[in-house]
C-alpha cells in the first residue's frame, strides 16, 4: 500500500503484531474550530447519550 500524501510532519504510531506491522498516522485539520479536548468531551457525551 502506498500513500501519496506527505505524512512526514504528522505524528504516527508503529505497532507490530505477529508478522504484521501497523502504521497509524494522525491527521489534524488546519481549519478545525474544535480543540482535541472539546472533541473528546463531545464524543464522550454522545456515547453516554447513546447508552
How confident is the model at residue 36, as a pLDDT? 85
Q: What is the pLDDT of residues 8-43, one digit of tens each?
A: 677 789 999 999 999 999 887 889 899 889 999 999
pLDDT at 2 over 90: no
DSSP classification of residue 2 = -
Q: CA-CA distances (angstroms) from residue 39 to 9, 24, 25, 32, 34?
A: 22, 19, 18, 10, 6
pLDDT at 51 over 90: no
Report the percentage of the chain scoring pLDDT > 90. 57
How confident is the model at residue 50, as a pLDDT? 92
Q: Where are the beta strands (DSSP E) in the chain?
A: 12-17, 20-25
How confident is the model at residue 7, as a pLDDT? 54
Amino acid at each position: 500500500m502506498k500513500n501519496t500524501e506527505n505524512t512526514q510532519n504528522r505524528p504516527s504510531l508503529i505497532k507490530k503484531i505477529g508478522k504484521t506491522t501497523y502504521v497509524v498516522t494522525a491527521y489534524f485539520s488546519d481549519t478545525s474550530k474544535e480543540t482535541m479536548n472539546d472533541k473528546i468531551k463531545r464524543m464522550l457525551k454522545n456515547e453516554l447519550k447513546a447508552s
